Amino acid sequence: MSPALHPLLVELLVCPEDKGPLWYFESEGILYNPRLRRRYLVRDGIPVLLVDEAEGVDDAEAERLEALHAAGSVLETGTPPTAGP
């Protein structure tokens, strides 16, 4: 497993292609763009955000990742964390 991304980096990262937020699956070492159905690897704690190296995902994998996201198991990048009350 790759080291976790720094929280500030998670806040700043966006997809290099559509500039939208990504879903960060820390346990799998990937960043996922649900709009384009592409995943980017995180190698040794460094996100590889190169469009040419992105991996497309099939329907079954997209559904699996969406289910994990719906269960609250992932962080969304490109947005500051919400402050508690």
pLDDT band at 7 (very low <50, low <70, confident <90, very high): confident
pLDDT tier at 15, thresholds 50, 70, 90: very high
Q: What is the pLDDT of residues 26-78, one digit of tens each?
A: 999 999 999 999 999 999 999 999 999 999 999 999 999 999 999 998 999 98
Give yes or no for residue 81 having a pLDDT over 70. Answer: no
Q: Looking at the domain assignment, is residue 2 inside a domain? A: no
CA 22 to chain centre: 4
Decide if 67 is inside a domain: yes
Domain-embedded: residue 84: no
Count of domains observed in the chain: 1
Rg, C-alpha atoms of the chain:
12
- The pTM (predicted TM-score) of the whole model is 0.88
- 16: which DSSP letter? T
Is pLDDT above 60 for 82? no
Asked if the structure places residue 50 within a domain, the reply is yes
Q: Tokens standing for 38? A: 């592409």
Q: Pick from 63, 57, 52, 66: which is nearest to 23 by CA?
A: 66
Question: Does residue 14 carry a pLDDT above 60?
Answer: yes
